[in-house]
Amino acid sequence: MGKCKFWTLRSNFQGQAKLSDFQLVEEDIPTNLKDGELVCEALYLSVDPYMRLFSDWSEVGKPVVGEQVARVTDSKNAKYPVGSVIRLSSGWRSHTHVKDVSTIDVMPELGDLPLSLTLGVMGMPGMTAYFTLLDVLKIKKGETLLVSGAAGAVGSLAGQIGKIMGCTVIGFAGTNAKVKWLKELGFDHAFNYKTEDVGKSIDRVAPDGVHCYCDMVGGEISFQVIKRMRDHGRMVVLGSISTYNNSTETTGPYLFSDILTKSLTITGFIIFNIREKWHIGEKQMAEWIKEGKLKYKETITNGFEHMPEAFLGLFSGENTGKAVVKA
């Protein structure tokens, strides 16, 4: 009988997450499956900033939440025979006993694209970028779009989609190398928020203000952007990575007067709420990649045993593009 390995929380995070918060556990892989059940083995696993927030609500001892792409190794389900490749949200597990196949996601049509993209451009980050710009912000040609966390899995795609739609795109990232990459992707302006003044940078390249803001980080950067948004500007909050590791509640500065006087629209958006529409975005993203309009990077960590390190690297800026673990 084989063993399944899975990562759990040894204790809930207190401020900055650390390696000692995680524990690797083993259990037997079931062999006597019931009709309709299957077992799969992870091929690629996703690590994403949202897992830090979700883990605050997770039960200690349970697998850390997350998506993976896996291959079926044992099956009593005709729809998913041995060898099938599936995408599912089963957490940080090397093997998964699937009792309810409704938890399995429909795989996108990849063609000759890498399988790992089902967790990136063709997965949650790509769909977040696509539907944020087209359905939520309803971006228009000629507008100015600002993206924070612009070198990450979502931000790098959002900026490129903005360019495809005919916008002027501004991006902020945390290293000079990432800024260089953003310019290679076609961003009109890119800045290192650690070495350049955010407000002054925006004033210089967008003196009339910003129409749309795609926010991944929250905190001080978002404060500076909101102060510089145009009347009737639109902002989508996709994350707040700058605050996830705060050990105490923070308050202010308060920007309600700016929101009021500029008639701003601020929307929180979670892509899992519209999973039934993913096939639309997946098809378009694949076409843009094949046409050379959309580029991507992956930061791949080898080895299931390194899941925590890959996750913690998200908060120290070690990834460019999508962070993925190859099991």
Domains of the chain with CATH codes:
3-120+297-326 (3.90.180.10), 124-272 (3.40.50.720)
Q: How far is CA 59 from the centre of its chain?
A: 22
Write the DSSP string, 98-159: ES-GGGEEPPP--TTS-GGGGGTTTSHHHHHHHHIIIIIS---TT-EEEESSTTBTTHHHHH
The single-letter DSSP state of residue 93 is B
Residue 137 CA to residue 127 CA, distance in Å, equals 14
Q: Per-residue pLDDT tens for 2-13?
A: 899 999 998 888
Contacts 24+ apart (CB under 8 A), 183-187: 185/156, 185/159, 185/160, 185/295, 186/159, 186/160, 187/150, 187/159, 187/163
pLDDT at 16: 84
CB contact at 8 A, 70 and 43: yes
Do residues 230 and 209 touch, judged by C-beta distance below 8 A? yes
* Distance, CA of 126 to CA of 154 (rounded, Å): 6
d(CA 81, CA 17): 39
Phi, psi dihedrals of residue 290, rounded to the nearest 5°: -65, -30
Q: Is 303 helix (H, G, I), strand (E, B) or coil?
A: coil
Q: How many angstroms separate the first and last alpha carbons of the chain? A: 20
Q: Which ranges of the chain have pLDDT less than 50?
A: none
Which pLDDT score, from 0 to 100, does residue 81 have? Answer: 97
Kindly report whether the global pTM for this prediction surpasses the value 0.85: yes
Side-by-side strand order, sheet with 229-237:
189-192, 168-173, 144-147, 210-215, 229-237, 265-268
Output the pLDDT for position 1: 62
One-letter amino acid of 133: L
**pLDDT tens readout for residues 165-200:** 999 999 999 999 999 999 999 999 999 999 999 999
pLDDT at 123: 95
Q: CA angle, 56 as apex, 52 and 61 as ends, to 5°?
A: 100
What's the Cα-to-Cα distance from 261 to each of 214, 228, 230, rounded to whole Å? 20, 12, 10
- Confirm if 299 and 322 have CB atoms less than 8 A apart: yes
In this structure, what DSSP letter does residue 196 have? S
